[in-house]
Structure 1
Amino acid sequence: MPTETNWAGNLTYRAAAVHHPATVAEVHDLVARLPRVRALGTRHSFSAVADRPGGDLISLDAVPPEITVDPAAMTVSVTGGTRYGELAVALHSEGFALHNTGSLPHISVAGATATGTHGSGDANGILSTAVVALEVVRADGTSETVGRGDPALAAMAVGLGMFGVITRMVLEIQPTYQVRQDVYVGAPWDGVLEAFDEIMAGAYSVSLMGDLGAPVLAQIWQKTRVGDEPPAPAPRSLHGGRWYDDADVPAGIGLNPRAGLVGPWSERLPHFRLDAPPSVGGDELQTEYFVARRHAVDAVRALRAMGERISPHLHAAEIRTVAADDLWLSPAYRRDSVSIGFTWRKHPEQVHALIGDIEAALAGFAPRPHWGKLHRLSNTDLVERFPRLRDALDLARSRDPAGKFAPDVLTGLRGVSRGRARPAA
């Protein structure tokens, strides 16, 4: 078959074939007859989380999006391969919204939630916290719906694809809302870290972006929910940073801030536009770690101490806040968190070495990786950092004893059970 790669081209899939069924019925048939299979999303993961060496991959990109709003229940039912940008436009047009979005509207609903994708905001959980139910195709090709009344949903909402192929999801929604995005440039890092809690609590969603080795931040993005009354004018400075509007956009990494403009949540919460390539168009590598919110400032200072080594290989770093949740494999499981993300230049050898050193610098803060991004943590580290990982593996094994959906990234953990480890089968 032709060589298949992820979006960034840093990963060549080792699966034997990629299938593109046009209907959910075809998904059922494929899963029933293929011995080793995984679901493949929009290929925006930098890790091998979706790969299936020697097996097959199933992409839902040819299944037409189906979006059905239930105003009484305040939920939306959506096919798993639907992109978040498509869902957001449809919801807003009917007067509804999601609690948050990720940076990229290009990613699929099932793929993004399965890997723990998130936005920002002190009170905002990862995207998977909106999952009310999911419809999954099991190893024998039959389907089941797992909802909030089933304890398994806490494992399956961030399930890394190891519970089957998710063909449909039900998500919580709310009335649509407007957002104003204000952007500040040039704030000194030291002052921002001293006022970290104040800045991050200053809007519904806040992101800090820039070079960890520079004396000043490139940008602070504050996204404020707007009510019925006109919002108060944004301050023209923020802890040494200067406010700017769309006519005064500094050089960056292709972000589209729509600064100072009020607009629909669907256009303001994502960092990028659905009709344009996001970030630096895939010419990049990405890493991201979650640490407990109480360690945020110390963790960032530890990384800034490495700034001279990080800067030559970095497009930009982004710092966001995420509310705690009870989803077993969520990087924010039971702790309010700060995520520290790196968009690297495509310098594989140097970045690989830096990732190891970054993990060593953050070790005292027990960092948890984003499942869809690059990391070098060992199996032992993962078991320690994700307290319910053993439980999730046990549940997946009970539902899929032959390991049809087993994720390659956890191959060394397939034999792990509660309390002790066994060699992988």
Structure 2
Amino acid sequence: MSERVTNWAGNVVFGALRLHHPASIDEVRDIVAAGGPLRVLGSGHSFNRMADTTGDLVSLAGLPRVVEVSADRKSVRIDGGIRYGDLAVRLQEEGLAVHNMASLPHISVAGAVATATHGSGVRNANLATGVSGLELIDGAGNLVVLDRDNADLPGAVVGLGALGVVTALTLDVVPSFELRQYVYDDVPRASIESSLPEMLADGYSVSLFTDWTGLDANMAWLKRSSPMSGPWFGARPADGPRHPVPGMPAQNSTDQSGSLGPWHTRLPHFRMEFTPSAGAELQSEYHVAATDALAAIDAVASIRSEVAAVLQVCEIRAIAADSLWLSPNYERDSVALHFTWIADTEAVLPVVSEVERVLAPLNPRPHWGKVFTTAPPDVRSAFPRFTDFAELVRRYDPAGTFRNEWLSSILG
């Protein structure tokens, strides 16, 4: 491959022989029919080698944009290359919305869905749960169309790119809505200890941020429809706009003034027109049962000096349960601890292993697209339907067209 292609953070240089930019579904089918190994590259917002390959990479960014609202205005069919930020603008023009968004609107919808990426909110399930239909090119080059009447859909949605090239998705939509965003500084540890479930439920979407230099949380970000004023669980209103990552410009973040604004300008933490998060970073994330949230916080607090030494910021947020086989939120309401590390793999990996060690008694499930060191057998055992998923992979891709080293180790 003549061009040097990396993931978003630059910590992975892809080893593919060629990078394809198909402009049509027929071109995608031809690429798949030529044989593997083959992997699909979304927006590159992953931090491990799940998208890497010794064969060819396929980017769907060049497919024609498709945003087709159904006649009953309850769903939208989209192409496999569109990003959430671009989709959101089109939906808002139609007076519609998706139920939630991730922190970054820059990510591709298909990539976010395939890894069970999420926003937050105790009543909000992850983004993949909005998928009511899926169209993919399987390992034999066949176009497969799945809907909610098909028993394979719950296994195929969070598919890790293992079943084929997702060329189109159908998503549930809701009427457009407005939210306000507020930021509070210095959330006391005592409040977290006494009232964490109430805190995480006090808005459509709520995030706590900490750098683990102390036991208090540095900030709370709340996205909600009703106005608020005064202190919040002992935290004080921020005296100006904030960025989640210390030292980054607040102008990159979405509006925090408390004024009502369209859903897609409040739910993400970052504006589409600016570089999201820090850029030079690594990320890890672990999901535990919501009932174990405080225990998980205590576990990380027990090694906080090690964590703080290589951390930029840690975000704590809630996600509702779902029925998708490889979702970290499968059949359990969850709280996720998301770690944005410094961009130093050698320094970070030992700390990642330590975080996994102290969280292990709580049966944590990793985010598929982040950095984790958990042994593959332990990863498999954390997902009750993993054996069913592996069988699904064998049916959809018996020749291993979409296999790579990372996926083969996970599948076993």
**Alpha carbons 1:315, 1:345 under 8 Å: kept:** yes
Pairing partner for 2:348 from 351, 356, 360: 351
Q: Is 2:383 aligned against 1:396?
A: no
Q: Is 2:107 aligned against 1:138?
A: no
Deviation at 1:407, TM superposition (A): 4.4
Question: In the aligned structure 2, how far is the partner of 1:90 from the partner of 1:193?
Answer: 42
Moved more, 29-38 or 354-363: 29-38
Question: In the aligned structure 2, how far is the partner of 1:374 from the partner of 1:404?
Answer: 24
Give per-residue Cα distances to partners, 1:80-121, cap 9 Å, x unaligned: 110000001110111001100011101111111001100000
- Give the root-mean-square deviation of aligned CA atoms: 1.6
Pairing partner for 2:271 from 245, 248, 273: 273
Instruction: Tell me the residue number matched to 2:182.
Output: 182
Secondary structure at 2:160 match in 1 = coil
**Alpha carbons 1:254, 1:279 under 8 Å: kept:** no
Instruction: Tell me the residue number matched to 1:324.
Output: 321
**Alpha carbons 1:160, 1:407 under 8 Å: kept:** no
Instruction: Tell me the residue number matched to 2:119.
Output: 119
Give per-residue Cα distances to partners, 1:232-272, cap 9 Å, x unaligned: x4131112211136468795544514111210001100111
Q: 1:32 to 1:97 in 2, by over 3 A?
A: same
Give per-residue Cα distances to partners, 1:182-237, cap 9 Å, x unaligned: 1111122332232101111100110001212324322101111x3xxxx4x41311
Question: In the aligned structure 2, how far is the partner of 1:247 from the partner of 1:287?
Answer: 26
Instruction: Tell me the residue number matched to 1:11.
Output: 12
Q: 1:63 to 1:245 in 2, by over 3 A?
A: farther
Letter in 2 for 1:38: R
Deviation at 1:304, TM superposition (A): 1.1
Deviation at 1:36, TM superposition (A): 1.6
Pairing partner for 2:280 from 280, 283, 286: 283
Letter in 1 for 2:28: V
Instruction: Tell me the residue number matched to 2:231.
Output: 237
Secondary structure at 2:146 match in 1 = strand
Moved more, 77-86 or 307-316: 307-316
Letter in 2 for 1:274: M
Q: 1:352 to 1:26 in 2, by over 3 A?
A: same
Instruction: Tell me the residue number matched to 2:259.
Output: 261
**Alpha carbons 1:39, 1:59 under 8 Å: kept:** yes
Question: In the aligned structure 1, how far is the partner of 2:241 from the partner of 2:155?
Answer: 46
1:166-205 alignment runs, 5 A limit: 166-205=166-205
Question: In the aligned structure 2, how far is the partner of 1:356 from the partner of 1:275?
Answer: 35
Question: In the aligned structure 1, how far is the partner of 2:107 from the partner of 2:387?
Answer: 28
Give per-residue Cα distances to partners, 1:364-422, cap 9 Å, x unaligned: 001110000000011110111011111111111122111111243231354x5xxxxxx
Question: In the aligned structure 1, how far is the partner of 2:397 from the partner of 2:74?
Answer: 33
Question: In the aligned structure 2, how far is the partner of 1:249 from the partner of 1:140?
Answer: 46
Pairing partner for 1:377 from 374, 377, 384: 374
Pairing partner for 1:302 from 299, 302, 307: 299
Question: In the aligned structure 1, how far is the partner of 2:123 from the partner of 2:241?
Answer: 31
Letter in 2 for 1:308: S
Give per-residue Cα distances to partners, 1:143-193, cap 9 Å, x unaligned: 121111111101111000111000100000000000011111112233223
- Taking structure 1 as the reference length, the TM-score comes to 0.92
Instruction: Tell me the residue number matched to 1:211.
Output: 211
Letter in 1 for 2:238: Y
Give the gaps of 5 or more residues in structure 2. none
Instruction: Tell me the residue number matched to 2:148.
Output: 148
Q: How many residues align?
A: 407
Question: In the aligned structure 2, how far is the partner of 1:109 from the partner of 1:133?
Answer: 13
Letter in 2 for 1:303: V
Question: In the aligned structure 2, how far is the partner of 1:6 from the partner of 1:249?
Answer: 23
Letter in 2 for 1:279: S
Moved more, 167-176 or 300-309: 300-309
Give the gaps of 5 or more residues in structure 1. 417-425
Secondary structure at 1:238 match in 2 = coil
Question: In the aligned structure 1, how far is the partner of 2:243 from the partner of 2:113?
Answer: 32
Deviation at 1:29, TM superposition (A): 1.1
Instruction: Tell me the residue number matched to 1:363.
Output: 360
Secondary structure at 1:129 match in 2 = helix
Instruction: Tell me the residue number matched to 1:162.
Output: 162
Question: In the aligned structure 1, how far is the partner of 2:410 from the partner of 2:259?
Answer: 48
Letter in 2 for 1:265: W
Letter in 2 for 1:269: L
Letter in 2 for 1:243: P
Question: In the aligned structure 1, how far is the partner of 2:396 from the partner of 2:264?
Answer: 37
Letter in 1 for 2:306: R
Moved more, 359-368 or 66-75: 66-75
Give per-residue Cα distances to partners, 1:313-352, cap 9 Å, x unaligned: 1110001101111100001011110000000111211210
Question: In the aligned structure 2, how far is the partner of 1:398 from the partner of 1:205?
Answer: 38
Give per-residue Cα distances to partners, 1:11-65, cap 9 Å, x unaligned: 111222211112222111111113221111010100111122x211100111132
Question: In the aligned structure 2, how far is the partner of 1:123 from the partner of 1:408?
Answer: 36
Identity of aligned residues (%): 42
Question: In the aligned structure 2, how far is the partner of 1:270 from the partner of 1:347?
Answer: 26
Question: In the aligned structure 1, how far is the partner of 2:410 from the partner of 2:344?
Answer: 29
Question: In the aligned structure 2, how far is the partner of 1:57 from the partner of 1:338?
Answer: 34
- Taking structure 2 as the reference length, the TM-score comes to 0.95
Question: In the aligned structure 1, how far is the partner of 2:254 from the partner of 2:191?
Answer: 23
Secondary structure at 1:237 match in 2 = coil
Letter in 1 for 2:363: A
